[in-house]
Structure 1
Amino acid sequence: MSDLEAELAAIVRADPGLMQVLTTVRALDLPDWRLVSGAVYQAVWNAQTGRPHGYGVKDYDLAYFDASDLSWEAEDAVIRRVAAAFEEPLRSQVEVRNQARVHLWFQGRFGEPYEAVTATDAALGRFVAPAFAVGVRLEPDDRITVAAPFGLEDVFALTIRPNPTRPRAKGWARAIDSARARWPELTVIET
């Protein structure tokens, strides 16, 4: 584990909301799951800027990968199972997506093509910005493992830049405006 991964794990462990989500989801034993994106990198930003745990967090993105049944009904059954494991407000805040299905609906929703992926961690490489491409999992032995295909430097530097491996997302400006409204200390690199 790198120094930044260890620091991220410590930040996650200190955040009661993140730990509640991770502990609850671990017990559900979903295939190839991770808590990804916003709630994870925003916990770092809160720690870096002295804001309280949970500040600015809109939801908890839970990704898993199950290619055995790509139907909406199968994913919806997992969504309902996860929701049943939580009380409010987390029940309404944990958003579940089967990464094996994203290619089926992404273009229709976001107007961009999306090739199928083979694992949850592979999906992180498609996220809008390297800073957003981070996921954590609470393992059965209580270790927190980290997936960050672009590294964690941008996350800890409060820097957002476009993902260099994909075209700029159509929702780039909206994502930047939303982040800057909550963390004005962010540096945005447009190229």
Structure 2
Amino acid sequence: MIGRLPLDEQLDALRAVLSRNDVLTEVLARTATLGLPGWYLTAGCLFQTVWNVVTDRPPAHGIKDYDVFYFDDRDLSWEAEDAVIKAGREVFAGLPAEVEIRNEARVHLWYEEKFGVPCPPHESSEAAIDCFAATTCCLGVRLEGDGRWRVYAPHGLSDVFHLVVRPNPVLAPRAVYEAKAARWRTQWPELTVLDWP
């Protein structure tokens, strides 16, 4: 089982598995051209690709969108973020998937209105990834200038490869975790969903 391999072999396995999703690798390559500070491709498109490969589904099965985080606290205006989103639309044109770009330096400005709890300002894209509702989601990948993959996985990769959904009660409310877990379980019934503490 991949989750029991040494960490360097888990990273190799992650790259091999994610590389089977052609849309994902194209999003990585195109995002790298945007020059976004502290960017990562993150969340569902990553762990769901792993779930698909582990359960013998097509690599892109059930993936709703591809989330790109970046961190730029020099200008917190919506206009600055919207300019990046519009540039992204051009870069991702023709892809058979929706790509959502968000400046994680701005999340605290809208999070409470959307989710009902306040969000302290993030200090980096990594800090934002740390706050996903499930630890399984806390995963980010980006292409460095030399073609190397940078992987951020603060909770490791074992749960991802073992199809375990574990709550991460640091920010998102219980209802968000349970709604996401229920939705995922309809598409990947093999998941083990752990209860909110």
Give the shorter-chain TM-score range.
Answer: over 0.9
Specify the alignment match of 1:152 in structure 2.
Answer: 157
- Partners of 1:165 and 1:111 lie apart in 2 by 14
State which drifts further: 170-179 or 127-136: 170-179
Specify the alignment match of 2:62 in structure 1.
Answer: 56
Unaligned runs of at least 5 residues, structure 2:
1-6
Residues 1:109 and 2:114 are matched in the alignment: yes
Specify the alignment match of 2:29 in structure 1.
Answer: 23
Secondary structure of 1:80's match?
Answer: helix
- Partners of 1:36 and 1:182 lie apart in 2 by 19
Distance 1:2 1:170, change over 3 A: same
Q: Is the 8 A contact 1:106 1:112 kept in 2?
A: yes
Alpha-carbon distance, 1:87 to partner: 2.0
Secondary structure of 2:69's match?
Answer: strand
Specify the alignment match of 2:85 in structure 1.
Answer: 79
Aligned partner letter, 1:36: T
TM-score (ref. length: structure 1):
0.94
Aligned partner letter, 1:14: R
Q: 2:53 aligns with which of 28, 47, 56?
A: 47
Q: 2:8 aligns with which of 2, 13, 23?
A: 2
Q: Is the 8 A contact 1:110 1:170 kept in 2?
A: no
Specify the alignment match of 2:4 in structure 1.
Answer: none
Distance 1:26 1:78, change over 3 A: same
- Partners of 1:88 and 1:140 lie apart in 2 by 24
Specify the alignment match of 2:3 in structure 1.
Answer: none
Question: Runs in 1 of length 4+ with deviation above 4 angstroms?
Answer: none
- Partners of 2:83 and 2:171 lie apart in 1 by 31
Alpha-carbon distance, 1:11 to partner: 1.4
Specify the alignment match of 1:13 in structure 2.
Answer: 19
Q: Which residues of 2 match residues 164-179 of structure 1 at below 5 A? A: 164-166=169-171, 168-179=173-184
Secondary structure of 1:100's match?
Answer: helix
Specify the alignment match of 1:139 in structure 2.
Answer: 144
Give the CA RMSD over aligned residues: 1.5
- Partners of 1:151 and 1:164 lie apart in 2 by 17
Distance 1:60 1:130, change over 3 A: same
Q: 1:126 aligns with which of 123, 131, 137?
A: 131
- Partners of 1:36 and 1:79 lie apart in 2 by 16
- % identical aligned pairs: 43
Q: Is the 8 A contact 1:162 1:168 kept in 2?
A: no
Aligned residues: 190
Residues 1:184 and 2:189 are matched in the alignment: yes
- Partners of 1:118 and 1:142 lie apart in 2 by 26
Unaligned runs of at least 5 residues, structure 1:
none
Q: Is the 8 A contact 1:60 1:93 kept in 2?
A: yes
Distance 1:112 1:23, change over 3 A: same
Secondary structure of 2:101's match?
Answer: strand
